[in-house]
Amino acid sequence: MRGILRFLLLLFLFSFPASAQEYIISEEFRDLKNWEPLYFPKVDRHSRYSVIRKGEDSYLMAESEDSASGLLYSDTFDVYSWPVLTWRWKVEDIIPSGDARKRKGDDYSIRIYVIFKYDPAGASGFRKFQYNMARAVYGEYPPDSGLNYVWANRSWGTPFVPNSYSGRVVMIAMDTGPGEAGLWKEHRVNILEDYRRIFGTDPPSPASLAVMTDSDNTDSSGIGYIDYIRIGKEE
């Protein structure tokens, strides 16, 4: 009996660390303690974010009414060690007048950002000048670049398009249109593969997450939900 108990104890001890290291981030939205508000200059109306509970389940509700703001995850992660992003989301509806190819249409019921930190060591002289100027104005460097996974309002005729405000941010359509509004959709992407395919180079290693719903450009409203977000290793 003593030998069996020792075997079970060893099995538990050796299996637990592997399970704990499956994800570097596993956000189930029990609360918002790991997130901080993300506001934008000259945008006065902010979107609302709250945790919805149904029994033992919980998820994030993101609401916008002619507004824009996001939530930024408090920690960064090494995208080379943890390149796999998985999540589950849904929308109540799309924003009918939204269109990623136009600044006036850059609104979505739900989106997930992967934001890459600027690295001065790998920047050209002109780029360093630009980022140093930005830091002088805002007190910190802006992000280097970003991948923006969205529930697209309409088909673009291509899997991704440059953001209408910045060529260093790319919009990637994961779901499109209103046909599956109200249904939970699960997605899995490899961040490194997407970045290399789109930008043709390797990203900076420090990355962070943000979520957002916005409707200020279209003077409309949108509601989206996220059940979970996870950052893990390639299988």
Residue 215 near residue 43 (C-beta atoms within 8 A): no
Residues with Cβ < 8 Å from 17, sequence gap 6 or more? none
Does CATH number 3.30.70 belong to domain 24-232? no
Contacts for 146 with CB less than 8 Å, ≥ 6 apart: 113, 114, 115, 116, 168, 169, 170
Q: What angle do CA 80, 83, 88 make, to 5 degrees?
A: 160
Amino acid in the structure at residue 52: I
Cα angle at 213 between 70 and 45, to 5 degrees? 70
- The residue type found at 41 is P
Per-residue pLDDT of the chain (235 residues; tens, 9 = 90+): 455 434 333 333 334 443 445 999 999 999 999 999 999 888 999 999 999 999 999 999 999 999 999 999 999 999 999 999 999 999 999 999 999 999 999 999 999 999 998 666 665 554 544 555 444 444 454 567 999 999 999 999 999 999 988 888 999 999 999 999 999 999 999 999 999 999 999 999 999 999 999 999 999 999 999 999 999 998 7
Place of tokens 């200059």: 41
Please name the residues in contact with 183: beta carbons below 8 A apart, sequence gap of 6 or more: 90
Computed from CA positions of residues 170, 101, 225, 62, in that sequence, does the dihedral angle turn out positive or negative?
positive
